[in-house]
């Protein structure tokens, strides 16, 4: 049975204002129904929220996409309303051990890898949070308190947490991202660091070296002293050729996962055996297929520049790169300087193509504008020579041309499969 704290139970005479009617908003609504607490949706594409609405509301629960300086948040603050993030509100009713996982890149892989490890060992666990299953949904459906929850936490979610009390925190890495949402890089860092506020003094805090490095360089004192794991702590676990976890950006994830597993009593042999059976989530850096000795790689999940560069580092010779999309405020000049080391020719798509072409030109990186992803794939294939690698690692958000990165990745795969089908010779067998 779900029980509200007394200070919230007193407010049930007025409905909750839910900001956003997407996945997290709908999950909150489901949880509020269980509590018999009325609610109203307010959405940027639907019903607006004003001072009169604030006066008729008990509390506000926001979806991750609402920034702290959003006008509706300010209205709610002026009316002295309690404001919760979806994840934070759900945590009120959650007694489960929680491992909160944040970072610029690698969060989803680490969440699903640890969940895979736990389940293979017969330890009950679930994935939740930014991975696509809101914590509110799990809570409303009923949770055995012994089940461990691996909780993916974005910077948007982390900056709104005040109640969530994780038992452990793993902060994978840190690099520029979401600067269209956060005022600057330090604020983006502090948004993630807010997670540490509720970590118990005996809680386990593990982070990648880029996290501690940024904190030291910018004189930011972390609430908890972390155990710092470097990418070169990665041990050779003899993964199969082209195994997802063997790629450059995932070596740090293996090191972090192994460090956490050891802390949880799992030895190297057991860990090594189980990770062999791990399969990547869709559209993470992975081999798609070969067409006439040209290899295609899908990394649609690369929605920031650091992730795109990480994908490029997997190849010994220069690649053909397909990239572009919606900008998120990152530094393109610095990106182009690094990209020059890895790319022979770029095929550009999306809203960022214009700005991107200017910085690529300044670095003498040849490029081709393309109106669509199919055009980019086909042009890249025509440009490629036998043995070439065509890498789709956009480096930008997908929302200018696609519903999300998953749709973008699925479409890329289908284009490649269609290309192979069109060009692969086939024979017909006639039965006489």
C-alpha span between 350 and 303 (Å, rounded): 13
Domain with residue 59: its CATH number is 3.40.50.720
432 located within any domain: no
Position 243 scores a pLDDT of: 74
Tell whether 82 and 166 lie within a shared domain: no
Q: Are 254 and 229 in contact (CB under 8 A)?
A: no
337 located within any domain: yes
Tell whether 327 and 234 lie within a shared domain: no
Domain with residue 260: its CATH number is 3.40.1190.10
Give the tokens for residue 125: 């666990």
Last residue of a domain, one of 275, 295, 315: 275
Give the tokens for residue 404: 């999300």
Q: Tell me what percent of the residues of the chain surpass a pLDDT of 70.
A: 94
Tell whether 102 and 238 lie within a shared domain: yes
C-alpha span between 176 and 186 (Å, rounded): 10
Q: How far is CA 295 from CA 105, 365, 405, 419, in A?
A: 24, 21, 21, 12
For the segment 91-115, what is each residue's pLDDT rounded down to a tens digit?
A: 999 999 999 999 988 888 999 999 9
Q: How far is CA 418 from CA 114, 369, 406, in A?
A: 35, 22, 18
Name residues whose C-beta falls within 8 Å of residue 257's C-beta, 6 or more positions apart in sequence: 110, 113, 114, 117, 271, 275
Least confident of 153-167, 357-371, 377-391: 153-167
Q: Buried (b) or exposed (e) across 417-429, using 16+ Cβ within 10 A?
A: eebbeeeeeeeee
pTM of the model: 0.79
Last residue of a domain, one of 246, 275, 304: 275
pLDDT at 274 over 50: yes
Tell whether 17 and 37 lie within a shared domain: yes
Tell whether 75 and 126 lie within a shared domain: no
Q: Is 151 helix (H, G, I), strand (E, B) or coil?
A: strand
For the segment 226-270, what is each residue's pLDDT rounded down to a tens digit?
A: 999 986 655 667 777 667 777 766 888 899 999 999 999 999 999
Give the tokens for residue 419: 């290309």
- Alpha carbon 40 to its chain centroid, in Å, reads 29
225 located within any domain: yes
Tell whether 190 and 125 lie within a shared domain: yes
Q: Are 344 and 318 in contact (CB under 8 A)?
A: yes
> In the chain, what's the furthest Cα-to-Cα distance?
84
1 located within any domain: no
281 located within any domain: no
CA angle, 129 as apex, 10 and 267 as ends, to 5°?
A: 125
- At 112, which helix (H) or strand (E)? helix 107-120
Block residue for tokens 């604020």? 187
Tell whether 178 and 50 lie within a shared domain: no
Tell whether 50 and 128 lie within a shared domain: no
Q: Tell me what percent of the residues of the chain surpass a pLDDT of 90.
A: 67
Tell whether 182 and 242 lie within a shared domain: yes
Q: Is 350 helix (H, G, I), strand (E, B) or coil?
A: coil
User: What band does 425 get if pLDDT is binned at 50, 70 and 90?
Assistant: low
For the segment 180-234, what is each residue's pLDDT rounded down to a tens digit?
A: 666 688 888 998 999 998 887 778 999 999 999 999 999 998 888 899 998 665 5
User: Alpha helices, DSSP H only, in 314-391?
Assistant: 332-339, 353-362, 373-383
| Cα-only R_g, the chain | 23
Tell whether 264 and 212 lie within a shared domain: yes
C-alpha span between 62 and 74 (Å, rounded): 13
Q: Are 19 and 72 in contact (CB under 8 A)?
A: yes
| Range(s) of the domain holding residue 246 | 94-275
C-alpha span between 40 and 267 (Å, rounded): 50
For the segment 2-41, what is each residue's pLDDT rounded down to a tens digit?
A: 888 999 999 999 999 999 998 999 999 999 999 999 999 9
C-alpha span between 170 and 196 (Å, rounded): 10
128 located within any domain: yes
pLDDT at 62 over 90: yes
Tell whether 42 and 136 lie within a shared domain: no
Last residue of a domain, one of 275, 299, 314: 275
Give the tokens for residue 426: 């086939």
236 located within any domain: yes
How big, in percent rounded to 5, are the helix, strand and coil portions of the chain?
40, 15, 45
431 located within any domain: no
Block residue for tokens 């065509």? 390
Domains in the chain, number: 3
Q: Region 80-89: what's the mean pLDDT?
A: 95
DSSP characters over 262-283: HHTT--HHHHHHHHTT--PPTT
C-alpha span between 87 and 81 (Å, rounded): 18
Tell whether 67 and 188 lie within a shared domain: no
């Amino acid at each position: 049975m779900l029980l509200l704290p007394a200070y919230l139970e007193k407010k049930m005479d007025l409905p909750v204002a839910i900001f956003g009617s997407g996945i997290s908003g709908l999950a909150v609504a489901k949880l509020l129904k269980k509590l018999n607490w009325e609610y109203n949706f307010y959405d940027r594409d639907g019903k607006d929220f004003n001072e009169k609405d604030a006066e008729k509301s008990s509390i506000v629960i926001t979806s991750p996409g609402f920034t702290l300086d959003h006008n509706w948040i300010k209205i709610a603050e002026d009316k002295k309303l309690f404001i919760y993030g979806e994840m934070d509100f759900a945590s009120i009713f959650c007694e489960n051990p929680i491992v909160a996982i944040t970072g610029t890149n690698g969060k989803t892989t680490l969440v699903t890898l640890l969940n895979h490890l736990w389940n293979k060992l017969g330890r009950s666990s679930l994935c939740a949070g930014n991975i696509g299953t809101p914590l509110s949904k799990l809570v409303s459906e009923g949770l055995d308190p012994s089940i461990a929850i691996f909780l993916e936490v974005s910077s948007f979610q982390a900056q709104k947490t005040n109640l969530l009390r994780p038992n452990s925190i793993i902060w994978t890495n840190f690099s520029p991202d979401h600067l269209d949402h956060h005022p600057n890089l330090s604020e983006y860092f502090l948004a993630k660091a807010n997670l540490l506020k509720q970590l118990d003094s005996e809680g386990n805090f593990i982070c990648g070296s880029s996290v501690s490095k940024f904190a030291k360089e910018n004189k930011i004192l972390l609430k908890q002293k972390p155990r710092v794991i470097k990418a070169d702590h990665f041990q050779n676990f003899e993964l199969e050729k082209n195994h997802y976890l063997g790629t450059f950006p995932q070596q740090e994830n293996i090191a972090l996962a192994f460090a956490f597993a050891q802390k949880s009593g799992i030895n190297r042999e057991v860990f090594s055996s189980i990770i062999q059976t791990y399969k990547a989530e869709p559209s993470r850096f992975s081999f798609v297929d070969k067409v006439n000795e040209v290899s295609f790689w899908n990394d649609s999940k690369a929605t920031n520049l650091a992730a795109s560069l990480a994908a490029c580092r997997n190849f010994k010779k220069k690649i053909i790169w397909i990239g572009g999309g919606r900008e998120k405020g990152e530094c393109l000049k610095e990106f182009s300087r690094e990209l020059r080391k890895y790319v022979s020719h770029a095929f550009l798509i999306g809203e960022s193509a214009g700005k991107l072409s200017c910085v690529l030109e300044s670095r003498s990186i040849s490029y081709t504008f393309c109106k669509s992803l199919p055009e980019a794939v086909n042009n890249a294939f025509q440009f490629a020579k036998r043995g070439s690698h065509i890498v789709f690692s956009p480096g930008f958000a997908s929302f200018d041309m696609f519903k999300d990165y998953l749709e973008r990745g699925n479409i890329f795969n289908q284009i490649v499969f269609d290309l192979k089908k069109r060009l692969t010779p086939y024979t017909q067998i006639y039965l006489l």
